[in-house]
Structure 1
């Protein structure tokens, strides 16, 4: 029974491949560019492109379980191909944003919601993993911190419960190898609520130097962020942070509650990634 892991170039997909391979399970790593993923020796790589249905058959041959990234383009064709190939269970890396009001029209949530609905309407058994903010989102501050510049934030006291990406991979691997999580919809978080200011204080302590925080206006943030992402996505993200500005973030499911293993902390993530915040 082969397990197909899509998005094998991503941090979660790659980590899931490594876990399953280490457990001695037959793993196939799928990517739109299969020559690029770095996978353990002995792991088969295959091309899978959602808008090219001709890539589906080889990727799905002999597969019973799939770890899926939420790409809406071509998802209905993929679901049909998976059903025809005998796939039984799909674990989707979705997002907690699908639970927010207006998710259908929200650019941050709608793509995950589209994939969730396509799977829910299928004959496939599905497990939805809905992580909240990744701890690794902090890498967006790396350039400023590395060059000893202030980190500019419109909502420095917005609360999130950042989850370590390795925790997501642990839950995904369990969902693919056991039945305790099968068919469930799980909102995944870290075990503590931290404001952006508090996260930066952890990074400051880890790096052993001050990280100044500069409060900027929403308009200034829109201008800065708009250089790197579409305006609707900028607005959605800023709305999310504004809404998180009024109290601690809710703690969802963690590796503690799901796997009986303490959740990795934000401080642990900061120690593991300290080098990323040092200018080259």
Structure 2
């Protein structure tokens, strides 16, 4: 039995699917009682940041895929619960900023704290320190569908965004693959195959959906106020804008670790955009 914490996230969903395809038993943990998860997964309702709510977590757990944002400061307690159910190892979806600082330090510190709790848990561990997810670009979908213009700050900010499928496949190797022991005690820096600024990403989405899209530069404070006006928590614009400001000066890291681990090139942002045409195609592109 494999437990996926953060099963409704972009990586969590991919991991659940891959584990089921591999014939493994999966417990998918979600706090959303209405969450739609793949047939075959055992859905465990509860709040991972309150491990005492996970009363339905089954026995016979072999390993855990852990999303730090899902557990907050409760990682140690959650891992203790998983160990009591039989867990022997844990794979953590950490962040590239642990190694390559960018943005406000407190956000990287949150990932460091989870990594430290995992090291102290007594479980075998693997850290996947990921670049920004290609799926983050889904936040642009309403603008693209409505106007074909993405309005944002720091258009020159460059990163090597990673497809969630690549992260999930690496996680599967460390969780359930025949050579999983080789990944114990390893911290992998995972990125996509090419560095792209925000304008590049908008252009590639446009190529995927057959529309001419553009990026309109706004002042960072204007973007912040617009995000807050949408009702988003204050830490979200801080998280986004702080990182983008640094990546506009120094591009984020780029590695070939995915290719080394999976034996094939990492998936491109263009491939991710092609996978998500339906999210971006509006009336003007139909």
TM-score, structure 1 length as denominator?
A: 0.89
- The whole-number CA distance in structure 2 between the counterparts of 1:232 and 1:29 is 27
Aligned residue number for residue 63 of structure 1: 61
Aligned residue number for residue 153 of structure 2: 154
Asked whether 1:75 is paired with 2:75, we answer yes
Aligned residue number for residue 206 of structure 1: 208
Asked whether 1:256 is paired with 2:259, we answer yes
Pairs within 5 Å for 1:93-172: 93-101=93-101, 105-106=105-106, 108-172=107-171
Aligned residue number for residue 235 of structure 1: 238
Query: How many residues matched?
Result: 277
- The whole-number CA distance in structure 2 between the counterparts of 1:45 and 1:104 is 35
How far has the Cα of 1:59 moved from its partner? 1.1
Aligned residue number for residue 86 of structure 1: 86
* Equivalent residues of 2:5, 2:28 under 8 A apart: yes
Aligned residue number for residue 281 of structure 2: 278
- The whole-number CA distance in structure 2 between the counterparts of 1:157 and 1:267 is 18
TM-score, structure 2 length as denominator?
A: 0.87
State the SS of the aligned residue for 1:87.
coil
How far has the Cα of 1:248 moved from its partner? 4.2
State the SS of the aligned residue for 2:229.
coil
* Equivalent residues of 2:163, 2:192 under 8 A apart: yes
Q: What residue ranges of structure 1 are gaps of 5+ in the alignment?
A: none
* Equivalent residues of 1:133, 1:163 under 8 A apart: yes
Asked whether 1:186 is paired with 2:185, we answer no
State the SS of the aligned residue for 1:163.
coil
State the SS of the aligned residue for 1:169.
helix
- The whole-number CA distance in structure 2 between the counterparts of 1:262 and 1:186 is 16
How far has the Cα of 1:33 moved from its partner? 3.6
* Equivalent residues of 2:148, 2:212 under 8 A apart: no
- The whole-number CA distance in structure 2 between the counterparts of 1:199 and 1:35 is 32
- The whole-number CA distance in structure 1 between the counterparts of 2:26 and 2:187 is 24
How far has the Cα of 1:239 moved from its partner? 2.2
State the SS of the aligned residue for 2:168.
helix
How large is the RMSD of aligned CA atoms in angstroms?
Answer: 2.3
- The whole-number CA distance in structure 2 between the counterparts of 1:233 and 1:136 is 16
Structure 1 residues 55 and 265, CA gap change in structure 2 (3 angstroms): same
Q: What residue ranges of structure 2 are gaps of 5+ in the alignment?
A: none
State the SS of the aligned residue for 1:36.
coil
How far has the Cα of 1:250 moved from its partner? 2.1
State the SS of the aligned residue for 1:243.
helix
- The whole-number CA distance in structure 2 between the counterparts of 1:27 and 1:235 is 35
Structure 1 residues 19 and 262, CA gap change in structure 2 (3 angstroms): same
* Equivalent residues of 1:147, 1:278 under 8 A apart: no
